[in-house]
Chain A
């Protein structure tokens, strides 16, 4: 694959690994999530150029809108969990208990 494709493949993979293996703060997970969104935006932008289909040019903008909502939701949950748990340290969080 070309060098350009490698860049955003590796950006996506590294961000997802970062999401999975973040150490202490929940906000770092959210940042990695933003990184995944960024790499996906770039990939979606390159796609109509490579495939010569101008009608797909709108797709990255749609994705950006949804990722903004998602970032907002993530930040709201961060604030809510910080309010209830006292901090955003991840070892306090338990799936079985709110």
Chain B
């Protein structure tokens, strides 16, 4: 059987199915989109995308297909090429599965939205851009997907555009992404000028790749995947509706930066500087985000910070020279993070818009399915043995412990792992257990199949995905099999430590046993003071400099003091002093006349 033909054909079929809701309405006369039709489209596309995935798992076939070639200039060609390797093959069904569940959930969540079809079309456009990014073999096609997801993120975060916070959050997202784009364009320019290609398989350098393009790629990943330094947009992006947060800012868009680094990994494998930068940056991001999540009270913000922390962990894995493991973490993370967001969406709607966990409690009895899946998701996030998160997270921590690296990065990552357990458990305890702190009358009802089915589907995925993916895909680098006992159980131990801390912490929240403010909680709840420092400092500095140069230096100094007016002032001062002596009286005049005549006459003797 021609496996490559089957592969390419089924992939093209998947993409065409996804494009139908966008292509058909302009072409056919009475064709209207609807939320259910778009959901059905994505479901069909998911089922179709299982064909290339199973083909790959069965036979290991990979292919690069080049379509239409754009002859840019004489010797620089840009083919539109699609790469089907293990990363795109496995990511495609996962992304489509998660999107299908989210769209089904969104038919309930956004049911009262007047422009619901436009919302679904936006989500579909985003999905297409993300998939373009994933299967692109050419940096140009990848850049198109990259920009596409950035723009759709902007449009979707600011969906409720009457809200000022939503607009500022969308603008923040676009600006931080743009700073990352500078790095991507830098790398593309370097590639075009040095290697004369934008094809990824041609970028492998025989010796060590110079650090400059790699720095550009790392900057791009920092911007898109919210690493420390360009991170504030991710918590702010929670202003968008929950399906947007679930799709973009947990499973798909934010992993685009990490995915870029995975794709271009052969370039980075030999350059130790770039790898160390990735490692340290990832360790810093994961710890910072986990620290900030400890004292957050908004349920969506906690999940956003946990996403940020896991992205830092993925960056650490890249820095360890293990792209396959990072990809595994992306895949498993998509399941439980999307599920966490959907559960939080269900809770928010059931409590009529309440997002503060201090005003939730005892929901285990009233929302049983949602809260059970929330627990499953949190356990998977913490790395509970044999759930989905365990396969990727534990492997990462083990590799960290057994490789030659920066001890500081290792310490930070372990600390962040324990914090992960802490904030997850805090969220679980405050939301589900204890006394009911919500308002008395709530429209609590989760009996709709549009809620139950997606969440339970994703829960099954969270439980089984890790096992499935690790048993079906062979690793290219052998993981370390033997290590001391403490090293092997390091992840579990720090998680248990975090759990103990969490129980203590959540007790403190409503029994008032400690003073409300101390420097550490202040640091954590104000997100490390990064936002006011960076946002105010830079702009104030720049504007002051501008004022100094334009107004003070040029207008006031040169034109007023030194130039024309200054000269005039000098003359004025001199003439004012002298004018008082010019009286115009004849007597003085004649007296000075005589005086000078006398002087002249006397001096000649």
Contact = CB atoms under 8 A, between A and B. Distances in A.
Interface stretch (A14-22, A62-70, A71-79): A14-22
Contact of A90 (B583, B586, B594): B586
A91 B585 contact: yes
A97 B590 contact: no
A93 interface: yes
A45 B181 CA distance: 108
Nearest to B597: A16
Contacts of B589: 95
Contacts of A91: 585, 587
Interface in B553-605: 582-587, 589-591, 593-594, 597
A96 interface: yes
A94 interface: yes
B584 A17 contact: no
A16 B585 contact: no
Contacts of A16: 594, 597
A80 to B, nearest CB: 15
Contacts of B585: 91, 93-95
Interface in A44-98: 90-91, 93-97
A90 B582 contact: no
B593 A94 contact: no
A34 to B, nearest CB: 17
Nearest to B585: A94
Nearest to A29: B590
A93 B594 CA distance: 19
Interface residues of A, number: 12
Contact of A96 (B584, B587, B590, B594): B584
A16 B597 CA distance: 10
Contacts of A93: 585-586
B586 A19 contact: no
Contacts of A17: 594
A16 B590 CA distance: 10
Nearest to B587: A90
Interface in B499-532: none
Contacts of A95: 584-586, 589
Interface residues of B, number: 12
Contacts of A21: 590-591, 594
Contacts of A90: 586-587
Contacts of B594: 16-17, 20-21
A60 B590 CA distance: 27
A96 B587 CA distance: 13
A77 to B, nearest CB: 12
B584 A20 contact: no
B584 A19 contact: no
A20 B593 CA distance: 8
B591 to A, nearest CB: 6
A25 to B, nearest CB: 12
Contacts of B591: 20-21
Instruction: Point out which of A19, A91, A94, A95 has the most chain B C-beta atoms below 10 A from its C-beta.
Output: A95
Nearest to A93: B586
B586 A20 contact: no
Interface in B84-101: none
A21 B591 CA distance: 7
B579 to A, nearest CB: 10
Contacts of A96: 582, 584
Contacts of A94: 583-585
Contacts of A20: 590-591, 593-594
A90 B584 CA distance: 12
Interface string A5-32: 0000000000011011100000000000
B389 to A, nearest CB: 100
Nearest to B589: A95
Contacts of B593: 20
A64 to B, nearest CB: 24
Contacts of B584: 94-97
A4 to B, nearest CB: 20
Contacts of A19: 590
Contacts of B597: 16
A90 B594 CA distance: 17
A36 to B, nearest CB: 12
A94 B584 CA distance: 5
Contacts of A97: 584
A16 B591 CA distance: 11
A94 B589 CA distance: 10
Interface string B316-360: 000000000000000000000000000000000000000000000
Contacts of B582: 96
Nearest to B588: A95
Nearest to A26: B586
A93 B586 CA distance: 7
Nearest to B601: A13
A22 to B, nearest CB: 8
A90 to B, nearest CB: 6
Q: Which of B584, B586, B591, B594 has the most CB of A within 10 A?
A: B586
B249 to A, nearest CB: 85
Nearest to A94: B584
Nearest to A23: B587
Most chain B beta carbons < 10 A, residue from A17, A19, A20, A91: A20
Interface of B: 582-587, 589-591, 593-594, 597
14 contacts: A19-B590, A20-B591, A20-B593, A20-B594, A21-B594, A90-B586, A91-B587, A93-B585, A94-B583, A95-B585, A95-B589, A96-B582, A96-B584, A97-B584
Please name the 6 residue pairs, one residue from A and one from B, whose CB atoms are nearest each other, closest first: A20-B594, A96-B584, A94-B584, A95-B584, A20-B590, A93-B586
Given A90-B587, A95-B584, A97-B584, 13 more contacts: A16-B594, A16-B597, A17-B594, A20-B590, A20-B591, A20-B594, A21-B590, A21-B591, A21-B594, A94-B583, A94-B584, A95-B589, A96-B582
